[in-house]
Each structure stands twice: as structure tokens, then as C-alpha cells.
Structure 1
């Protein structure tokens, strides 16, 4: 299991952990958010259920220089990507079953299917441009 919390001291390690083609699941939250505090245990449980994927917890205020321009409307917001392809970016119900289904559905897609899906609407094309965690960490 690979579960990390992004902070200013481990950005290079997180970037290295998400370098390959394995699925990355990032949760964007805030320390002051009660829903996020409760969801953290759910997110860690997801990481345990999916040991072949990398899970990254990101506090959007502490890491504002990395993710500050992302449009986070509500918490928790999940970002799922494989390689440089963002398959999902959006608010998620704070429910383990719903999140697990999302992770399973994204993991079941081939890279070609995910790329096709990622380019299927203007919103998803914007995810590729704006929400790619690898690119955000490299900037």
C-alpha cells in the first residue's frame, strides 16, 4: 500500500511515487473541514483495499502553491489519474462504498479507454490541462 500525505518536505518523493502508470488517487481536503477529518480514515481504508495504487492526501491550503488554482467546490474532492491522464476530478460523497466503486471503475479502464474518456468533453479536457497532479508537482 502506498498512502502519502503531500507536504513541503516530500514533494519529490510524492512525484516519484506517481511517476509510473499505476493509478493515483488524490484527495483534496482542508484541515479545518470536519467532513475531511472524518473522511481521512475512509481514504486510508481505500488505500489498504487497493495496494497496487498510490493514494495521496493533499491539504489544499497547506499546499496552495501546488493545487491553489484547482477548482475545489466542496470536500472531499477526488482526483484519479493514470500516468498523465486524469480520469476523474470532482466532489465525492464521503462514503467508502462510492469511493471504492469509483476507484474500481477507473482501474478497470485500459489506458486507451481512459484517454478516450478524458477527451470526451470540454470539462474532461480541462482536467488534463489543469488537474494533472504530476504536472502540478513538476511546475
Structure 2
């Protein structure tokens, strides 16, 4: 399982989780890690997952999903994808996005089957603790 922050019990699997898809070789990702951790500390009701897609064990979760821009974030409420895409690596940007998602109940339908598969896989991992 990837690096998980703010871990919850499996009963809370329907709640929000944020995944940062990154690569260790990416300087922007390395710089973003403390910012991501800071936002995680400010949102204790949300699971934050740092997933290095080039780490052999974690890459298996990503499957065929092609990440073109780092960092790329996935945000879901349980198994419902709410956001998927690159995001400026600033704490304020992520915090504003989370706030906007709190106010909007829209669910994203991903056209990429690999993205849908990743969301379902991560939801199952989070649900199983």
C-alpha cells in the first residue's frame, strides 16, 4: 500500500481521499511533498496518499495509466472520482480545490479506463485498511 497519512478505519472508506501521483526523480514532486504533508495535517478527515508511480511496488497499482504531468492528483469521495489532473504544487491551490469540492457535489466520469481502474483499486486498498 502506498504511503498513507491520516489513516482511518475501513468503516470510513466512503470519505474523501487525495492521491498525489508522483515520481521520485521529479524535483517538483520532491519539493511538493512537504506542502502535501502540510495540507494533509490541515485536513484530518481526509486520507492523503503519496504514490510514487515509478516505485515497483506502487507502480503495480497504477497499471496502464499514463501520467504526463507531475504532480497529478486524484481526489475521490469513496469510489466516486471528484478530481483528476495536474495541480500547481501550492498548499493554497490544493486547499481551495478541496473547499470547492465541499461545495459542489459533481462527480467526474473519467474517460480513461486505466484511471477508473486505479480509483477502484485504491478505494479497495483504503477500504481494507
- Shorter-chain TM-score range: 0.7 to 0.9
SS in 2 for 1:118: coil
Q: Among residues 2, 16, 22, which one is paired with 1:6 in the alignment? A: 2
TM-score (structure 1 length as normaliser): 0.72
Higher relative contact order, chain-length normalized (CA < 8 Å, sep 6+): 2
Match of 1:134 in 2: 123
Could you tell me which runs of 5 or more consecutive residues in structure 1 were left unpaired when the two chains were aligned.
none
**Rounded Cα–Cα distance in structure 2 between residues aligned with 1:18 and 1:33:** 35
- Which 4+ residue blocks in structure 1 deviate beyond 6 angstroms? none
**Rounded Cα–Cα distance in structure 2 between residues aligned with 1:55 and 1:36:** 15
Give me the CA root mean square deviation: 2.8
How much has 1:17 moved relative to structure 2?
Answer: 5.3
CA gap of 1:28–1:18, structure 2 versus 1, over 3 A, is: farther
CA gap of 1:51–1:101, structure 2 versus 1, over 3 A, is: same
Could you tell me which runs of 5 or more consecutive residues in structure 2 were left unpaired when the two chains were aligned.
none
Residue 73 (1) aligns with residue 63 (2): no
Match of 1:58 in 2: 51
**Rounded Cα–Cα distance in structure 1 between residues aligned with 2:91 and 2:20:** 13
Match of 2:41 in 1: 48
**Rounded Cα–Cα distance in structure 1 between residues aligned with 2:78 and 2:54:** 25
